[in-house]
Amino acid sequence: MPKLRVHNFSMSLDGYAAGPLQDLKHPLGRGGERLHEWVFETVAGHAMFDGGGGGSTGIDNEFLERGDRGIGATIMGRNMFGPIRGPWLDEEWTGWWGGNPPYHHPVFVLTRYPRPPLVMEGGTTFNFTNDSIEDVLERAFTAANGADVRLGGGVSTVQQYLRASLVDELHVALVPVLLGSGERLFDHLDGGPTGMERVEFAASDGVVHVVFARR
C-alpha cells in the first residue's frame, strides 16, 4: 500500500516548526531559517537548491535524500506555497522555488481559493484545490501512480492529516535551538499521533532525527 509520508520536518527544541510572522522575506517566519540551515549544508540540499556542488554526506544527507525517494506526488498547504493570504489578486506568484521547483511531480496545494493548475519546468505541476484533505489524498495517490505521497507542510497542514490519523510516516528533524515563539508541530492534535510508534532515532552533530510510523 502506498504511504503518506512526512520527511525532514524541522522543529526547534521548544517545539516550533516555523517562526512567527511569515512574509515574502521570511518564508519560514522570523528566525525560522535557523531550523533549515542543516539542509543547506548537505550534498542533497545543495543539489536541491543551488544545482549541486559541495555539502556533507552522512546522517543528515541520508535523511534528506530519503525524503524524495519513492515519492510520486506532494501535498502542501497554501502557506508553504507562498506568503499571500486570502483571494489570489493575480496569478503571478508561482511558488518560492523559481521556474524549476524541486518536486518534479504533481503537487496539490490546499487552499480555499482554487486557481488553474500551474505547469512548471521539470515536471512539477501545482494543482490548487479546496477539496477535503481525504479527497486530496485520494487524488494524490492516484497521481502518484503506486508511489508514495509526501506531505510537505506547513504546520497546520501536517496537523490536519495527523488529526485524521492519515499520516503513515512522520520524520521530525529536531534542531536543538530555542525559537521562543512560532507555530508548534505538536499542538492541536487531539491524540492523532497516539497510534504511531517510534521506529528510528539517530543524531548527527547538529540534528536529531526521529521517525514515527503508524502501527
Binding site for a second copy (CB under 8 A): 13-15, 172, 174, 176-178, 180, 184, 186, 189, 191, 193-194, 196, 198, 201, 203, 205-206, 208, 210, 212
Q: How far is the CB of 183 from a second copy (least distance, A)?
A: 13
Nearer to a second copy, 54 or 180 (CB): 180
Question: 24 — phi, psi (to 5°)?
Answer: -55, -40
Would you say 65 and 44 are in contact if contact means Cβ atoms under 8 Å apart? Answer: yes
CA distance 104 to 117: 14
Q: How far is the CB of 195 from a second copy (least distance, A)?
A: 11
Would you say 88 and 53 are in contact if contact means Cβ atoms under 8 Å apart? Answer: no
Q: How far is the CB of 19 from a second copy (least distance, A)?
A: 13
Q: What angle do CA 204, 205, 207 make, to 5 degrees?
A: 60
CA distance 204 to 154: 24
Nearer to a second copy, 18 or 48 (CB): 18
Nearer to a second copy, 47 or 170 (CB): 170
CA distance 129 to 127: 6
Q: How far is the CB of 54 from a second copy (least distance, A)?
A: 24
Nearer to a second copy, 97 or 186 (CB): 186
Category of 132 on φ-ψ map: left (φ > 0), alpha (ψ -120 to 50) or beta = beta
Q: How far is the CB of 85 from a second copy (least distance, A)?
A: 26
Nearer to a second copy, 98 or 176 (CB): 176
